[in-house]
């Protein structure tokens, strides 16, 4: 009699390669909301398609309302979609025609909002990354005066990171609120069920 999984690669043992990677929604914060603006590097999944549904990455957002992208599998075929359809949101807050998956790994220009200060740390929210997930930064490492709460700053970060520690966050300069048309509002304090 043979053992269970004997003929499987690794004899049926779990490996990191078969486990799903960590994502920003992990940790009880839920999925990030659908984006309010189209940016190069975002990943989307069509909710309906005539043929096979395939994930694609935004490569360029033209000013005429057209968004250029490429498939992330196969021969990376180019495609053009409407920015209006890409950003359309249903009643539940998810994308109506396209589901937002995440970001490709690289540094992005973004915004951070200081929501709280506790002892020697400032709690920031990066709404484009996740509007409820806190990022704690040591206050003396912020190179400028930042109003707490409600102060906004420009930043660069890897928005594809699953954890705050992997954001590689760099705060560049203070700024005003970017507005709800571009960036979601930070939700703080967190209302957990």
Q: Annotate 46-60 with DSSP letters as a single string.
A: ES--SS----EEEEE
- Residue 161 belongs to a domain with what CATH number? 2.40.50
Is 36 among the domain residues?
Answer: no
The domain in which residue 91 lies consists of: 42-103
The DSSP H or E segment spanning 9 is: none
Is 82 among the domain residues?
Answer: yes
124 in the same domain as 137: yes
122 in the same domain as 75: no
3 state SS of 107: coil
Is 32 among the domain residues?
Answer: no
Structure tokens at 60: 């360029």
156 in the same domain as 112: yes
Is 14 among the domain residues?
Answer: no
Is 180 among the domain residues?
Answer: no
| Sheet of 66-71, strands arranged across | 78-82, 66-71, 56-61, 42-46, 98-103
80 in the same domain as 60: yes
Looking at the structure of the chain, the number of domains it has is 2
115 vs 123: CA distance, rounded Å: 6
Is 18 among the domain residues?
Answer: no
What is the chain's pLDDT, residue by residue, as a tens digit (193 residues)?
555 666 666 666 666 665 666 677 666 777 888 888 888 999 999 988 777 788 899 999 877 889 999 998 888 899 999 999 999 988 888 888 999 988 989 899 999 999 888 888 889 999 999 888 889 998 888 888 888 788 899 999 999 888 888 998 999 888 888 888 888 888 877 654 4
76 in the same domain as 52: yes
87 in the same domain as 68: yes
114 in the same domain as 76: no
Is 188 among the domain residues?
Answer: no
């Amino acid at each position: 009699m043979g053992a269970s999984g004997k003929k499987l690669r690794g004899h049926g043992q779990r490996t990191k390669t078969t486990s799903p990677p960590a994502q920003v929604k992990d940790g009880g914060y839920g999925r990030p909301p659908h984006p309010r603006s189209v940016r190069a590097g975002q990943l989307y999944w069509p909710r309906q398609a005539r043929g096979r549904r395939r994930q694609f990455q935004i490569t360029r957002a033209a000013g005429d309302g057209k968004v250029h992208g490429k498939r992330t599998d196969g021969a990376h075929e180019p495609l053009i979609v409407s920015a209006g359809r890409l950003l359309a949101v249903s009643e539940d807050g998810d994308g109506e025609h396209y589901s937002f998956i995440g970001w490709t790994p690289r540094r992005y220009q973004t915004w951070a909002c200081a929501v709280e200060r506790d002892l020697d740390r400032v709690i920031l929210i990066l709404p484009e990354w996740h509007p409820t997930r806190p990022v704690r930064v040591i206050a003396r490492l912020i190179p400028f005066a930042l109003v707490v709460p409600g102060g906004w700053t420009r930043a660069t970060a890897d928005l594809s990171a699953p954890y705050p520690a992997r954001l590689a966050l760099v705060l560049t300069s203070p700024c005003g609120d970017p507005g709800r048309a571009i960036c979601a509002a930070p939700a703080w304090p967190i209302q957990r069920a």
